[in-house]
Homo-oligomer: A and B are copies of this chain.
C-alpha cells in the first residue's frame, strides 16, 4: 500500500475546528487508498507560551529541560488529531518522538535526526492502523532525554518520515497555497508555480521566502523526497500547491523561476584595509564570534597594499558588527582607515535553474534595474542566482521590474 506523509503547521491546527478540517484532508487520502503518516505542530501560540514560561523561569535555561517543556505542545495536538480521526471511523494512533522512536543527536534545542526505525509503525499498519499521527519537532537522544529539532523542526520531521517510510510524497499543509514567483504583496502579477526544483527552493528559502525551512528542503533533496506545499484552507485537487522535486521532473525549466527579496539589510564597508594574506579571516572571524550573520562579501583593490572590504548583514546586527571590528582594530589584528555602515539597503535576487544553460541573465537583470533608475551597490552571483543590494526605497520597484522583465507572469 502506498504511503503518504502529511504535515500540518500551527495555524492549520490552531483550534478544534481547524484540526477537524485537517483531519478531513487526511480522510480523503485514506479513502484514496493511502496509509498516512501525519506530522503535527503545536496549536499556534502554544510553543511561544511554553518558551516564555521557560525563559521567565531561567534566563540561561538548561536546554534539556527546555526541550522537555517545549515539546509538550505537539503531544497535545497529536492526541487530539488521533481522536478526531477516530471520530471519523479511521483507525489512528498518536506517537510521541520517544515512542517511534525518532532518534537524534544530543544537541538539545537543535538536534539532528540520526535514525527513524520503521518496525513499530510498520507493525501497527500491518494490524490495520490507517493513520499514524506524529508529534513533530521532537525526538529522543541516546541517553533517553527528549530533544527538539529547532526552527522548522516539524517540516524536517515530516521529510525524515517520508524518507524513512519511502513515502510517495510529503505534503506540507500551511497557510499559503504554494510557492510564488514573488511575494504577491509586492505585485499582483505574482503567480503560483506548479513545480520548482530543490535547488531553486533552497535559494528562495535562504533569500527570505518563508514557505519552507531550508533544512527540510536540504533533507528532501538528499533523499529525493517529493515535497508538496499547499493550503490547509482550500479544497485539495491533484494540481493544488507547488511540488518541490528533482530537476528531472520539471519538463521545461524557466530561465528564472522567482524573484526574492530581503528588506532589512545593511551594507558595511571597511575602507582602506591593510591588505595581506589572512586579512579576510582576521575580519570575519571576530564577526562570526560576535554572532553577526554575514551574507554577501565583496573585495575591491583601492590602492597599493590596501583594499576596501564590503559585506552585508541584517540591519539589526550593525552595532554588534561595529563593536567587533573596532575591538579587533584595537587589538591590532586589522588596520582600516574607516568603517561605513549603510543601513538603508535591501537585497533583491533572481533565481532559476535555467540560468545554468542560459547566458545573459545577469546582464538582463542589470539593464532592467538601470532602466528604472535603480543604482546597484553590491552584486553577488551563484550558479542559479544573482543577488544585488539596492537602496531600500527601490525594493518594490526592483522586484516588479524584474518580475516583468523575466516574463514570470506568464511562465509555465
Residues 52-86 of A, flagged 1 when their CB comes within 8 A of B and 0 if not, give 01101110011011101100100110111011101
Give chain B residues whose Cβ lies under 8 Å from the Cβ of A57.
16, 19, 80, 83-84, 87
A87 touching B58 in the complex, CB below 8 Å, given contacts A53-B16, A65-B94, A144-B99: yes
CB proximity of A313 to chain B, nearest CB, Å = 33
Report Cα–Cα, A61/B98, bound state, in Å: 23
Kindly report which residue of chain B lies nearest to residue A74, judged by CB atoms.
B72
Residue from the list B69, B82, B93, B99 in contact with A75, Cβ < 8 A: B69
Q: Does residue A50 face the partner (Cβ distance < 8 Å to B)?
A: yes
Q: Which residue, of A19, A79, A82, has the highest number of chain B Cβ atoms within 10 A? A: A79
Report Cα–Cα, A200/B81, bound state, in Å: 46
Residue from the list B53, B56, B86 in contact with A65, Cβ < 8 A: B86
Structural contact, B53 and A80, CB atoms closer than 8 A: yes
Report Cα–Cα, A146/B146, bound state, in Å: 15
Q: Does residue A96 face the partner (Cβ distance < 8 Å to B)?
A: yes
Q: Which positions 30-70 of chain A face chain B at CB distance < 8 Å?
A: 50, 53-54, 56-58, 61-62, 64-66, 68-69
Give chain B residues whose Cβ lies under 8 Å from the Cβ of A54.
79-80, 83
Give chain B residues whose Cβ lies under 8 Å from the Cβ of A84.
57-58
Kindly report which residue of chain B lies nearest to residue A87, judged by CB atoms.
B58
CB proximity of A63 to chain B, nearest CB, Å = 10
Give chain B residues whose Cβ lies under 8 Å from the Cβ of A50.
76
Give chain B residues whose Cβ lies under 8 Å from the Cβ of A82.
62, 65, 68
Report Cα–Cα, A120/B98, bound state, in Å: 17
Report Cα–Cα, A16/B82, bound state, in Å: 32
